[in-house]
């Protein structure tokens, strides 16, 4: 299994780091077997798997439940789990308790926190306690209500300066990685060159130290028809799934499934009768 030290080495050697989200055991198996360097159990879970409109309704129990499944599927991959909405803000005690559960109960190797300033203080407490922290800056979807929508961040000089300053804090507090979401390519490159922590981009252009995509976006498995500009869908499993289910519905309605080969008979030798 790769570790935070390996990711730094990869950055230093200019080897791109591949991150992918996963939410369940099959997704984790496929990701690990395909050679992704690290899996993120993202709270995008809320939107792509649980059917919510945003990541805001996602709970600690949701993250733990799905992290356990991912861990069972990918035993040899570094797993990062998102701390969900408001699980790292109320107090240091609550933040530590929640991060501890994600590590000890669920088996994650690191936690990811969105935001700067006060969040960095919480992150420092976790890091001092031995919990690897991944920071998340730029577009931070848990703050969609405050941001007023999902927009590219860091376009004005003021935002740009703030982001650069925040990125340097990521190094100062000793965070393991930085996820940078939806910022102009030039700024993402500048940040990647300015800090030691590996920078993993999503909608952050070509020059970050690594890339992350949401599993269902990558496989074309989302329920909607629209994907963000920064997504590349490498398959369209949504179409395959829809067609498969339609065929099944037709088959049952027409009584063309099951066929003789799917059926048990009383007179068959017993070995043939094992249903699985």
Q: By CB under 5 A, tell whether 32 contacts Na ion.
A: no
> Of 174, 173, 155, 165, nearest to 194 (Cα)?
165
What is the bridge-based pairing of β-strands 177-181 and 110-114? unpaired
Binding site annotation covers 157?
no
Q: DSSP for 99-115, please give it.
A: HHHHHHTT--SEEEEE-
Name the residue nearer to ligand KIV (CB basis): 10 or 204. Answer: 204
**Torsion angle in degrees (nearest 10) through CA of 68, 24, 208, 12:** 50
Q: In whole angstroms, what is the distance from residue 218 CA to residue 12 CA? A: 27
Q: In whole angstroms, what is the distance from residue 208 CA to residue 178 CA? A: 10
Residue 179 binding partner per list Na ion, ligand KIV, none, with a CB distance cut-off of 5 to 8 Å that depends on partner kind: ligand KIV
State which residue has the least CB distance to Na ion. Answer: 42
Shortest Cβ 217–ligand KIV spacing (Å): 9
Q: In whole angstroms, what is the distance from residue 189 CA to residue 228 CA? A: 21
Out of 27, 31, 42, 188, the residue judged to bind Na ion by CB under 5 A: 42
Q: By CB under 5 A, tell whether 43 contacts Na ion.
A: yes
Binding site annotation covers 44?
yes
Active-site residue, 181 included: yes
Q: By CB under 5 A, tell whether 181 contacts Na ion.
A: no
Site for Na ion in 72-101 (CB under 5 A): 82
Name the residue nearer to Na ion (CB basis): 54 or 233. Answer: 54
Q: By CB under 5 A, tell whether 217 contacts Na ion.
A: no
Integer Rg of the chain from CA? 21
Name the residue nearer to ligand KIV (CB basis): 43 or 62. Answer: 43
Binding site annotation covers 259?
no
Shortest Cβ 227–ligand KIV spacing (Å): 13
Binding site annotation covers 43?
yes
Q: Rule CB under 6 A: which residues touch ligand KIV?
A: 21, 40, 42-44, 82, 179, 181, 202, 212, 214
Q: By CB under 5 A, tell whether 109 contacts Na ion.
A: no
What is the bridge-based pairing of β-strands 210-213 and 199-202? parallel
Name the residue nearer to ligand KIV (CB basis): 135 or 212. Answer: 212
Q: DSSP for 183-194, please give it.
A: --HHHHHHHHHH
**Of 32, 169, 181, 189, catalytic:** 181
Residue 202 binding partner per list Na ion, ligand KIV, none, with a CB distance cut-off of 5 to 8 Å that depends on partner kind: ligand KIV
Shortest Cβ 258–ligand KIV spacing (Å): 40
Shortest Cβ 42–Na ion spacing (Å): 4
Q: In whole angstroms, what is the distance from residue 153 CA to residue 85 CA? A: 20
Across 145-249, where does the E strand assignment appear? 177-181, 199-202, 210-213
Q: In whole angstroms, what is the distance from residue 120 CA to residue 89 CA? A: 11
> What are the backbone dihedrals phi and psi of residue 217, each rounded to the nearest 5 degrees, phi first?
-70, -45
Active site residues: 181
Residues binding Na ion (CB under 5 A) = 42-43, 82
For the annotated binding site for Mg(2+), the residues are 43, 82, 114
């Amino acid at each position: 299994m790769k570790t935070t030290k390996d990711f730094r080495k990869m950055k230093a050697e200019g080897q791109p780091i591949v991150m992918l989200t996963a939410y369940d055991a099959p997704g984790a198996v496929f990701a690990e077997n395909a050679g992704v360097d690290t899996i993120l159990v993202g709270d995008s879970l809320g939107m792509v798997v649980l059917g919510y409109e945003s990541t805001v309704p996602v709970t600690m129990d949701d993250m733990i439940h799905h992290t356990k499944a991912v861990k069972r599927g990918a035993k040899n991959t570094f797993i990062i789990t998102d701390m969900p909405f408001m699980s790292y803000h109320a107090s240091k005690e609550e933040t530590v308790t929640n991060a501890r559960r994600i590590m000890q109960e669920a088996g994650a190797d690191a936690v990811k926190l969105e935001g700067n300033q006060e969040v960095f203080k919480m992150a420092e407490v976790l890091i001092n306690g031995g919990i690897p922290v991944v920071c998340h800056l730029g577009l931070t979807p848990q703050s969609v209500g405050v941001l007023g929508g999902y927009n590219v961040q860091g376009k004005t000089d003021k935002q740009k300066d703030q982001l650069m300053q925040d990125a340097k804090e990521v190094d100062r507090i000793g965070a393991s990685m930085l996820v940078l979401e939806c910022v102009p390519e030039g700024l993402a490159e500048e940040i990647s060159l300015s800090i030691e922590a590996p920078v993993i981009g999503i909608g952050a252009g070509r020059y970050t130290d690594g890339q992350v995509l949401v599993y269902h976006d990558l496989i074309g498995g989302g329920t909607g028809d629209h994907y963000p500009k920064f997504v590349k869908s490498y398959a369209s499993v949504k179409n395959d799934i829809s067609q498969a289910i339609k065929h099944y519905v037709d088959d049952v309605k027409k009584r063309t499934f099951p066929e003789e080969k799917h059926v048990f008979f009383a007179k068959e030798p017993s070995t043939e009768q094992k249903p699985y």
